[in-house]
Amino acid sequence: MLLPPHWAATEHAVNDVVQCIDSNRHQLLDAYYEAGPVDDARRAGIEIETVGRIAVIPVTGLLMKRPTSFERRLFGASSTSMTGAAIQSAALDKGIDSILLWVDSPGGTVDGTAELADTVVAASKKYKKRTVAHIDGLGASAAYWIASQAQEVYATRMSQVGSIGVRMMAYDWSRMFENEGITPVVVDTGQHKSAGAPGTKITDTQRAEWQRVVDGMFEQFKGAISSARGLKGKRLDAVTEGQVWLGTEAVDLGLIDGTQSLDATLADLHKKANNTTNTRTRYRAQLTLQNQRLALLGANMEG
């Protein structure tokens, strides 16, 4: 049974509240239902903050398509699917002029990364939002793939940028099993179906098949960077061997557009969006990101 609200207030005060709600009910409903995609995203639990007309979206921690609550606690993992939804919401919102990706991540799974990178591109090309990525500590591998698709990429001087590549790991336990007198019995439908099963020998043919898959993913990675950053030939080859560079080095290599503080990136976004840049607004942005850092640290400590 739904009960009416219980009050511990004077009749006069209660009547004032009721009359206020009644006289403004249309405006209240409009504010709720027509607040915009960003507000809808927040109500759905998607992580997105706004500073003026800028949407600030974190790309932090280990990136996974749909991490479990256990993976979030243990690894500080974040969801590329949810991040994509946040970017899409900001792109659709008429109250948003630009999108800032706050990046501090070692990368993550290939699954979900290309789709998120495509969402970043669509935000600028299809929805005409200015997209900027700011690497604040670490922008490696999948995290750089995503950041590189923004129209502009900046990093702090001592941030680590790069680690461009794709990898997988498998272990051949066959000798250990043999020494222990254990014989794995595999019943399957092809030479690749049980590749890497504990105790089985990894054949050259199986290794070549894994390499084919990894190479295919790597070509997609390189293609995205080449298109977004204009790196081709020897310049592209020079930065796609898995190395990591400091922000100052990454500028010369064409991986980012410049080194500056997060505050400077936010100030530039406000200026180009014709917003009033003031200390209060920039402090709020810094506080928002600091709270996200603390939340991420808390998740890691809890795990």
Q: Higher confidence at residue 129 or residue 22? A: 129
- Please, what is the end-to-end C-alpha distance for the chain in angstroms? 41
What are the phi and psi torsion angles at 190 (to 5°)?
Answer: 180, 165
Nearest 5 degrees, angle CA 113-CA 136-CA 254? 70
More confident residue, 12 or 157: 157
**pTM of the complete model beyond 0.75:** yes
pLDDT score at 77: 85
**135 vs 288, more confident:** 135
Task: Count Cβ atoms within 10 A of the Cβ of residue 279 and give its class: 0-12 exposed, 13-18 middle, 19 or more buried.
Answer: exposed
Q: Give the whole-number percent of the chain exceeding pLDDT 70.
A: 75
* Upper half-sphere CA count for residue 177 (Cβ side, 13 Å): 13
| pLDDT value of position 52 | 81
How high does pLDDT run on average in the chain? 84
pLDDT tens digit string along 51-69? 788 999 999 999 999 888 8
Band (pLDDT 50/70/90 cuts) for residue 176 is very high
Per-residue confidence (pLDDT) for residue 6, from 0 to 100: 55
Residue-by-residue DSSP string for 227-254: HHH---HHHHHHT-SS-EEEHHHHHHHT
* Domain locations in the chain as residue ranges: 46-164+242-303, 167-231
Yes or no: is domain 46-164+242-303 CATH 3.90.226.10? yes
Determine contact, residues 33/82, Cβ cutoff 8 Å: no
Q: Exposed (0-12), middle (13-18) or buried (19+): which is 35, by Cβ within 10 Å?
A: middle
**DSSP-derived secondary structure for 62-90:** SEESS--HHHHHHH--EEHHHHHHHHHHH
pLDDT reading at 8 higher than 80: no
**Residue appearing with tokens 């222990």:** 180
Answer yes or no: is pLDDT of 189 > 80: yes
Q: Is 267's pLDDT higher than 50?
A: yes
Among 74-83, 135-144, 206-215, the range scoring the smallest mean pLDDT is: 74-83
Confidence band, pLDDT 50/70/90 cuts, at residue 1? very low
Confidence of residue 149 (pLDDT cuts 50, 70, 90): very high
Range of weakest confidence among 152-156, 164-168, 228-232, 267-271: 267-271
Full 3-state SS string of 42-60:
HHCCCCCEEECCEEEEEEE
What pLDDT, on a 0 to 100 scale, did the predictor assign at position 303? 45
